[in-house]
Structure 1
Amino acid sequence: MSNANTVASDVLHDVPHHTVIVVGGGQAGLSISYYLKEAGIDHLVLEKHTVTHTWRSQRWDAFCLVTPNWQCALPGHPYRGDDPHGFMKKDEIIAYLDGFIAMVDAPVLEHTEVRKVRRVPSGGYFVSTSNGDFTADQVVVASGGYHTPIVPRMAERLPAGILQLQSSHYRNPQALPEGAVLVVGSGQSGAQIAEDLHLAGRKVFLAVGDAPRCARFYRDRDVVDWLADMRYYDMPVDQHPLREGVRDNTNHYVTGRDGGRDIDLRRFALEGMELYGRLDDFRDGCLHFAPNLTGSLDSADDTYNRINASIDAFIDKQGIDAPQGVPYEPVWRPHGERTSLDLAQSGIASIIWCIGFTPDFGWIDAPVFNGRGYPAHNRGITPQAGLYFIGLPWLHTWGSGRFSGIARDAEHIVGAIRLALDQTSTSLAA
């Protein structure tokens, strides 16, 4: 007899078995497949939609990388274009990924949703999907950490005539109805979407969050180039001053658009964008904001100047000849805090929610999650034998969730898989 946490042995014998099952066919899952194929390890990649689906379906039309092209270093597939210090646009990113897909030629089962992964008493895992059941000796979860869009409950009380979109569904200004647009959140997506609308001549209201910002270029180089020379991108999470707390940090806002530039919300304000603090509520026909706009802008600028100061110190220590840098000085300051906005009078016809995602690993039946649903792991290796994660922010380094660091993480995890398989073979032989 079986219960909710076990599977009858006769069932296990009737389903296809693979040494490794990889859940997720994005760049993380395909990178795992690359190293598994290199090691000659039987595996299957299960993808809910189609490989690299997110890049094709959840990016706006003007989307481009915020890190330079030279950081695109998927395993066996580095950037080979003629603009290493440029920033690939959406179509170019997809072409780059298509090349990676063809090169890896992973064994993928697309349109297959994984509904449950559970450990079986005899060892290994039972994997239930929308396309049949499987068993595996080991499972790599490569579905990322951005699953459920965050939209506050206040959204339910907004007038039905207001178009509401989550950032992953925004495409371009022309797709929105006439009228002003409220963008909620100023992380990478929020700041860039607000800029996209602003450049198109739309009236934009921006509810500013606590995201930090950084310079695009400083002292005649891309800030990413300086930080790479400073070995910041090689710093493991356990050596970061915030330790694992850095995983909760919001990404700095900056853009690679039009060759790359800063995103300065204060300058947008000078040009007519309306900035408010954090959006807290909607009642009595008014949007209500926290009185924290000044603090949020100042904090973002402090981070901007602090990063540049660390570059200054590096330049001085190394004796590098570089143009002199100067701290950023605000070009605009709020004249007091505005804490309410009459929705009808504002002319807002659309709201774009850019306040992030939460992870959803409820389909994994394993005792490895903390109170916030985040898996405990060391470089993607969990306390549960044979269960691994990859593609999460700061899994090991800053680049873990990006093109730049996924190869290192995938190679490490496949090394752990090989070791576990060797140990199992040795045990059986004994």
Structure 2
Amino acid sequence: MQNVERTEVLVVGAGQAGIAASEHLGANGISHIVLERNRIAERWRSERWDSLVANGPAWHDRFPGMEFQNDGPDDFVAKESVADYFVDYADRIKAPIRTGIEVKKVSRLDGRPGFRVETSENVIEASYVIAATGAFQIPVIPPLVPKTPSLTQIHSSAYRNPASLPAGAVLVVGAGSSGVQIADELLEAGRDVYLSVGPHDRPPRSYRGRDFVWWLGVLNKWDMEATPGAEHTTIAVSGARGGETIDFRRLAHQGMKLVGRTERYSDGKLTFAADLTRNIRNGDAYLQDLLDEADAFVARNGLDLPEDPEARRLLSDPACMTDPILSLDLAKAGITTIIWATGFSSDYSWLPSSALDDNRRPKHQRGVSAEPGIYFLGLPWQTRRGSSFIWGVWFDARYVADHIAKQRGYMAYTAPVPQETIDA
């Protein structure tokens, strides 16, 4: 007979979401176990490129209860140090984490509350389950370009450094934070680089002496709730080289070849949408609007922050904007590598189908699943724009833990015995 372990809450995943959940569950006095199939914060170590740093400064991109020990408040922390931070944090709060254990299946118990959780090690029965596996699970590479011996195709999560790629030109598809930083690193290494740029928001790295994360905070933009389409908006920002504003015109003037959205492939040629100029100018408009809001905030609150006219200056349109590349023969362009910075999908097939929608995505409100007793953490726009960021998931985890505490109170309620029953 298989040994069955019991716990009140089972947390699946020991990244930033799982550790935040553990802290808040512990604060509520709720017994729990955290299972992680790899190491704590594994994706920061093995699914990021070598030179990656956090996209926000250390004072902001952390949990409220602990600072980074070896970095200054305005530093952009290297990926290994971020992973070490979560290991140290888990140790500090004494999180009951077990690594090297994979959750195979979660199913509701028959005739009694809770769930049966089948793992690679044993079976666990839990009253509640938190899926804290996050949004960055399965790299997505569009089935656009067929496998070709002379062409290497990798996802941005598999990229490590310029030396790890075959000699030759590189096409990076996707100009969010990952894509643009990888393309910039390759350009700096002397590679011939093409970058496919889609719609994006382009905030300033800093303005009037304050980082953009501060501006989004005081302007209440981190607390924006999801609107149709907004949850898919790409943000182009970088913490590289001490933090800098992404300027696609500057990259083009430095030699990077910009193209529009990648659309089709045929006979060795890629076709691009004629939207590059529109995408870049819409990104510029976002930046200028944010600067206008920041100036209004400074004036309204009488803040002594220095003016920063340089932040509004736009370089001239490069040739790739005035005479766009709409088709590219990969071989003739010398392209030997395509890096797909095209995001991730998720796999929740191990959860009850009642917790998912028709597209097998989490069906929830603020992380509370449609299946009572199942919760989600670490989803983009779970409650607000900041939900998938380190500090944002901490606040979402508090809401989830408080919800569990409330529900267990209901389940613990026992109706008083009627007086007539006692008298009898």
Q: Aligned residue for 1:70?
A: 59
Cα distance, 1:182 vs. partner? 0.8
The 5-angstrom pairing of residues 184-333 of structure 1 reads: 184-233=173-222, 235=223, 237=225, 243=227, 245-250=229-234, 252-326=235-309, 327-333=312-318
**Counterpart among 386, 390, 394 of residue 381 in structure 2:** 394
Cα distance, 1:276 vs. partner? 0.9
Shift in alpha-carbon separation, 1:280–1:69, aligned structure 2, 3 A = same
Quick one: which amino acid aligns to residue 147 of structure 1?
Q
> What SS does the aligned partner of 2:195 have?
strand
- Distance of 2:247 and 2:416 partners within structure 1: 64
Superposed CA offset, 1:215-237 (max 9, x none): 1111232222222233333x252
Quick one: which amino acid aligns to residue 313 of structure 1?
A
* Residues 168-177 or 324-333, more deviating: 324-333
> What SS does the aligned partner of 1:137 have?
strand
Residue ranges of structure 1 left out of the alignment (5+ in a row): 1-10
- Distance of 2:73 and 2:64 partners within structure 1: 17
Cα distance, 1:299 vs. partner? 1.4
| 4+ long deviations beyond 6 Å | none
Q: Aligned residue for 1:335?
A: 322
Shift in alpha-carbon separation, 1:75–1:312, aligned structure 2, 3 A = closer
Cα distance, 1:172 vs. partner? 0.4
Shift in alpha-carbon separation, 1:221–1:42, aligned structure 2, 3 A = closer
Q: Aligned residue for 2:93?
A: 104
Superposed CA offset, 1:186-229 (max 9, x none): 01110111111111111111111222211111123222222223
Q: Aligned residue for 2:26?
A: 37
> What SS does the aligned partner of 1:164 have?
strand
* Residues 366-375 or 84-93, more deviating: 366-375
Report if the CA contact (8 A) 2:171-2:338 is conserved. yes
Shift in alpha-carbon separation, 1:420–1:65, aligned structure 2, 3 A = same
Report if the CA contact (8 A) 1:305-1:328 is conserved. no
Shift in alpha-carbon separation, 1:53–1:428, aligned structure 2, 3 A = farther
TM-score (norm 2): 0.91
* Residues 70-79 or 158-167, more deviating: 70-79
* Residues 17-26 or 76-85, more deviating: 76-85
Q: Aligned residue for 1:7?
A: none
Cα distance, 1:14 vs. partner? 4.8
Q: Aligned residue for 2:395?
A: 408
Quick one: which amino acid aligns to residue 379 of structure 1?
R
Superposed CA offset, 1:291-350 (max 9, x none): 111111111111111211211221122222333344342432412222111111111111
Quick one: which amino acid aligns to residue 241 of structure 2?
D
- Distance of 1:75 and 1:120 partners within structure 2: 37
Report if the CA contact (8 A) 1:118-1:366 is conserved. no
Superposed CA offset, 1:124-147 (max 9, x none): 111122223221100011000222
- Distance of 2:229 and 2:128 partners within structure 1: 28
- Cα RMSD over matched residues? 2.1
Q: Aligned residue for 2:420?
A: none
Q: Does 1:418 align with 2:405?
A: yes
- Distance of 2:69 and 2:101 partners within structure 1: 33
Residue ranges of structure 2 left out of the alignment (5+ in a row): 418-424
Quick one: which amino acid aligns to residue 248 of structure 1?
H
* Residues 321-330 or 264-273, more deviating: 321-330
Report if the CA contact (8 A) 1:31-1:75 is conserved. no
Q: Percent identity?
A: 36
Cα distance, 1:428 vs. partner? 7.7
* Residues 390-399 or 254-263, more deviating: 390-399
Shift in alpha-carbon separation, 1:75–1:18, aligned structure 2, 3 A = farther
Q: Aligned residue for 1:125?
A: 115
Quick one: which amino acid aligns to residue 177 of structure 1?
P
- Number of aligned positions between the proteins: 412
- Distance of 1:36 and 1:266 partners within structure 2: 48
Quick one: which amino acid aligns to residue 172 of structure 1?
N
Report if the CA contact (8 A) 1:73-1:405 is conserved. no
Quick one: which amino acid aligns to residue 206 of structure 2?
F
